[in-house]
A = this chain, B = another copy of it.
Amino acid sequence: MKYLEDMILEHGEVVGEDILKVDSFLNHRMDWQVYNEIAQEFYRLFSDSGVNMLLTIEASGIGIAAVTAQHFKVPAVFAKKAKTSNIGDDLYRAMVHSFTHGSTSDIVVSKKYISAGDRVLIIDDFLANGQAALGLVSIVEQAGAELVGCGIVIEKGFQEGGKKLRDMGIRVESLAIIKSMSEGKIVFA
């Protein structure tokens, strides 16, 4: 998606070899136009797939999923990190390891909000090692729901998350795929 690639080139900041900061428009300051473009594109890609709910994970995925839900006219559920939860015991759980924060956390989704028969589109801001996405995939499987695919804003193509998911037969649509960021230079796939 050219529009997004241009935003990344203009406003993204590479830190070290593998951190891309897009705080100015994606995950601290949410630029309404960027969000609108992203949501429209996810809708274009998946509107024929019978999606009846979106699934994401707190925190950065929430805004993107909420705006995308306005285009699909379906609900968006966000998985919560377990410690914050006052949402009952009837939960699907998955373990998610964050390489960025060096910690492992339980994510949970109430069994009330995802069921067999649901056609789920997973939405997230970044796909790198794939840990968060795999946790969400596990929750979809536990619920016996149908996974339509993953809509990712930025995929770090040089990390293994995208390959893992595609090797599982999952449709992954990443709006920008970064092939490399060596020496601060962003190259798209």
Q: Which residue of B lies closest to A35 (CB)?
A: B66
Q: In the complex, what residues of B have CB within 8 A of residue A59's CB?
A: 58-59, 62, 78, 80, 84
Binds B, one of A67-75, A136-144, A160-168: A67-75
* In the bound complex, CA of A58 to CA of B28 (Å): 10
Binds B, one of A18-26, A150-158, A173-181: A18-26
Asked whether A78 and B66 contact (CB < 8 A) given A86-B19, A113-B24, the answer is no
Most buried by B among A67, A72, A77, A110: A67
* In the bound complex, CA of A15 to CA of B86 (Å): 10
- A2 contacts chain B at the CB level, 8 A cutoff: no
Assess the B28–A75 pair: CB atoms within 8 A. Answer: no
* In the bound complex, CA of A86 to CA of B16 (Å): 13
Q: Which of B67, B80, B113 contacts A70 (CB 8 A)?
A: B67
* Chain A contact patch, size range: 35 or more
Q: Which of B21, B64, B74, B112 contacts A32 (CB 8 A)?
A: B74
- A65 contacts chain B at the CB level, 8 A cutoff: yes
* In the bound complex, CA of A80 to CA of B84 (Å): 15
Assess the B32–A77 pair: CB atoms within 8 A. Answer: no
Asked whether A65 and B65 contact (CB < 8 A) given A28-B87, A87-B23, A113-B28, the answer is no
Extra contacts besides A25-B75, A35-B69, A86-B100 (4): CB < 8 Å: A28-B78, A30-B66, A32-B72, A66-B67
